[in-house]
């Protein structure tokens, strides 16, 4: 079997969630989880605005103004992964017609959660609860002790995970995961490996398996992740500063031709939108992605925004392909 590799050094750059009210959601992530708004894209002509948030290393100051060309230049060359929050104008005021976004975790939903690592889950959850954050699961509830799931203002699940000992990460929290459910891990892993990701840990249980994939900028190139003991893989996973893509496979779904996950973009189930990758050349990358046979939601020259694409992965999740360095998005820029 020929191994496909997408050219142009693809790196995982974003996870997108739709939000109802940025006045609530942005402070949730900046004040409670220490994230920084590093850029915005405002499209008044289309009535939506995008906020990009990132975990910066503790002590690093960010002096650029989101929405300026300088912030755009920074955003579209980052090696890490940002949380993209998309706001459609007016949703926060339309309580009669707009009931909110679909946070996932219902029958056949694909998107599961995002996550943050911290040194002490119990102390962190106590701090969050005192600040008014609500929980799906507290650290000592349920079968799996020592981890928690908080709710963000839109009802998305935010997992709180213990960081590995010896991580040398001084941030109280760091953005650490995006979880998606997959039907067939063989197909999904091959797809994301073609986009430059590496399986850094596998964990098998009786009826499901977890696969953790990291982008090239987030791994130790000297480590042979496929051949280290699980204890070492677990430790290295918990020491990573940037997030991993967690693929959850419920055993047997790959044998059911009729089974599909909802991808977050269906009418009435919109919430999670996509993940995105930076590449050097969108057109060359898409030529190779096309060979994998899963199709495109938007070709590079389709629609009004030329030079970026949305491919489908094996489960129908949207995968944005963006030129490293950015393009002219047609947004209303902030003037300094």
Residues designated catalytic: 159
Tokens coding 166:
């010896």
User: d(Cα 177, Cα 240) in Å, to the nearest integer?
Assistant: 10
User: d(Cα 160, Cα 177) in Å, to the nearest integer?
Assistant: 10
Q: C-alpha 330: how far from its chain's center?
A: 24
User: d(Cα 304, Cα 159) in Å, to the nearest integer?
Assistant: 37
User: d(Cα 321, Cα 93) in Å, to the nearest integer?
Assistant: 33
Cβ count within 10 A of residue 242: 19
- The residues near 168 (Cβ < 8 Å, ≥ 6 apart) are 239
User: d(Cα 199, Cα 48) in Å, to the nearest integer?
Assistant: 35
User: d(Cα 306, Cα 118) in Å, to the nearest integer?
Assistant: 40
181 with 110: CB under 8 angstroms?
A: yes
Residue indicated by tokens 């339309």: 94
For residue 272, give the 3-state DSSP assignment: strand
22 with 4: CB under 8 angstroms?
A: no
User: d(Cα 268, Cα 262) in Å, to the nearest integer?
Assistant: 11
User: d(Cα 273, Cα 16) in Å, to the nearest integer?
Assistant: 5
């Amino acid at each position: 079997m020929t191994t496909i590799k997408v050219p142009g050094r693809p790196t995982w750059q974003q996870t997108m969630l739709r939000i109802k009210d940025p006045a609530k959601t942005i402070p949730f992530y900046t004040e409670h989880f220490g994230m920084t708004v590093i850029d915005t894209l405002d499209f008044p002509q289309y009535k939506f605005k995008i906020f990009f948030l990132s975990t910066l290393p503790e002590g690093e100051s960010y002096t650029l103004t989101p929405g300026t060309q300088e912030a755009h230049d920074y955003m579209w060359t980052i090696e890490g992964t940002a949380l993209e929050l998309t706001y459609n104008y007016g949703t926060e005021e339309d309580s009669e017609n707009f009931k909110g976004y679909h946070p996932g975790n219902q029958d056949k939903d694909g998107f599961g959660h995002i996550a943050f690592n911290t040194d002490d889950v119990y102390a962190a959850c106590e701090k969050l609860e005192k600040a008014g954050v609500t929980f799906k699961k507290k650290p000592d509830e349920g079968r799996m002790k020592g981890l928690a799931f908080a709710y963000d203002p839109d009802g998305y699940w935010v997992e709180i995970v213990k960081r590995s000992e010896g991580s040398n990460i001084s941030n109280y929290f760091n953005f650490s995961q995006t979880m998606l459910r997959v039907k067939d891990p063989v197909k999904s892993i091959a797809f994301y490996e073609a986009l430059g990701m590496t399986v850094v840990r596998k964990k098998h249980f009786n009826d499901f398996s977890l696969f953790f994939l990291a982008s090239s900028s987030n791994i130790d190139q000297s480590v042979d992740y496929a051949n280290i003991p699980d204890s070492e893989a677990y430790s290295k996973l918990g020491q990573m500063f940037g997030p991993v893509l967690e693929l959850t496979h419920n055993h047997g779904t790959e044998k059911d031709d009729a089974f599909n996950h909802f991808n977050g973009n269906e009418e009435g189930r919109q919430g999670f939108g996509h993940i995105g990758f930076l590449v050097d050349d969108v057109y060359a990358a898409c030529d190779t992605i096309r060979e994998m046979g899963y199709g495109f939601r938007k070709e590079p020259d389709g629609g009004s925004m030329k030079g970026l694409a949305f491919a489908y992965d094996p489960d129908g999740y949207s995968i944005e392909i963006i030129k490293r360095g950015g393009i002219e998005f047609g947004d209303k820029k902030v003037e300094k």
